Amino acid sequence: MSAMTVAAGGFANAQAAEAPCLSVSHLSLKFGKGCPACEGEHAKLERNVCPVCGTVHAVRDVSLEVYPGEIIGIVGESGSGKSSLMKCIYFDQQATSGDVRALPYDGGAENILTCSPQQKRFIRNSVFGMVYQNPYLGLRMDFSSLSNIAEQMIAAGDRNVGHMCERGYYLLDKVNIPARRAKDAPALFSGGMQQRVQIAKALSNNPPILLLDEVTTGLDLSVQASVLDLILRIRRDFNVSMLVVSHDLGVIRMLADRTFVMLDGQVIEHGLTDQILEDPQHAYTQQLVYSLL
């Protein structure tokens, strides 16, 4: 009985050398020049602002890995840097420093933050699918829903109208938008429908990585349930990896395998989602979780 020894290396046989689909290391984003007082390990900041030079450190040295088919949740109060992190990964915002690698792009050989703008556009269209909290950022409100999907596909190089229509109807059906409304502009839709069109658009090129920023915030409960179900089905059917930002802990509980907690631009704690919600270690996470209704 005493002969039990802990196997070294853990993953040796079962998940043999599984590589992360998306790996972010030491990502930082700051607004301002920075100064000796707020750089380096012993930086003294007031929350995330440097008291000396006024530089805002929106994202500070964040590292995380998303494995194939895994859903990672990011929680934190507003202003904690969740969305900035997503924007940096999706190139909406130029990260100050850091290294991001995506397995589907070049096998993760290159730091995509330093790619040429042309390559970045390719990555945005083919590797990532982004769903913004605000549908106005992700959709062309005056184009039809079908054209919105076609636009994304054209950007990725598709030129076959028949194929694009077929794919468009298929995706809109997947997100429960009736076919008779496919040619209506999202401007005429309810918020929940716009959000679902945005999801369909994000899925149009079968991206292996989905970035979801507060997808269900502001949706009514019934639409929220169907959007969550849709997200889980997409993961199951296409083994898509996802980064989900939300301040709704219920959503995170339902979706995420692992969860990262952010405060003032830093990751203060991460773990299995139920562990973060049931046994949070950090004072801020405890306050957050105990505030849950």
Partner 1 sequence: MPKMSTPLLSIKDLSKSFVMHNVNRRVMGCQHISFDVMPGEFVGITGRSGSGKSTILRCIWRTNLPESGSILYDSAAFGVVDLCTAPERQMLYLRANEMGYVSQFLNVLPRQTAYDIVLKSALETYGVERMEEAREHTERMLRHFDIAENLWELFPRTFSGGEKLRLNIAAAMIKRPRFLLLDEPTASLDNASKVKVRELIEQLKGEGTTMLGIFHDLEFMEGLCDREFNMQSGVIV
d(CA 7, CA 50): 46
Q: How far is the CB of 180 from partner 1 (least distance, A)?
A: 24
**Distance separating alpha carbons of residues 105 and 124, to the nearest angstrom:** 11
CB nearer to partner 1: pick between 18 and 142: 18
Nearest to 125 by CA among 241, 203, 212: 203
| CB-nearer residue toward partner 1: 163 or 233 | 233
Residues 6 or more apart whose Cβ sits within 8 Å of residue 265: 29, 48, 57, 58, 59, 60, 62, 80, 81, 84
Cβ distance to partner 1 smaller for residue 113 or 223:
223
User: Which residue number, 217 or 275, has a Cβ lying nearer to partner 1?
Assistant: 275
CB of 70 to partner 1, least distance (A): 8
Pick the closer one to partner 1 by CB: 153 or 277. 277
Q: Alpha-carbon torsion 177, 178, 184, 190, what sign?
A: negative
Taking the complex as a whole, how short is the minimal distance between the CB of residue 170 and partner 1, in angstroms? Answer: 17
User: From the CB of 191, what's the least distance to partner 1, in Å?
Assistant: 19
DSSP 8-state class, residue 259: E
Give min distance, CB of 141 to partner 1, in A.
29
Coil, strand or helix at 131: strand
Give the strands of the sheet with 97-102, arranged side by side: 56-66, 22-31, 97-102
- Residue 99, helix vs strand vs coil: strand
Which helix (H) or strand (E) segment holds residue 288: the answer is helix 283-290
Nearer to partner 1, 150 or 256 (CB): 256
Cβ at position 258, least distance to partner 1 in Å: 6
> What minimum distance in Å lies between the beta carbon of 238 and partner 1?
9
Chain contacts with partner 1 (rule: CB under 8 A): 1, 3-7, 10-15, 18, 67, 70, 221-222, 225-226, 228-229, 232, 236-237, 253-254, 257-258, 271-272, 274-275, 278-279, 281-283, 286-287, 290
First vs last C-alpha separation in the chain: 46
Q: Which is nearer to partner 1, 97 or 281 (CB)?
A: 281
Angle between helix 161-174 and 191-203 (nearest 10): 130
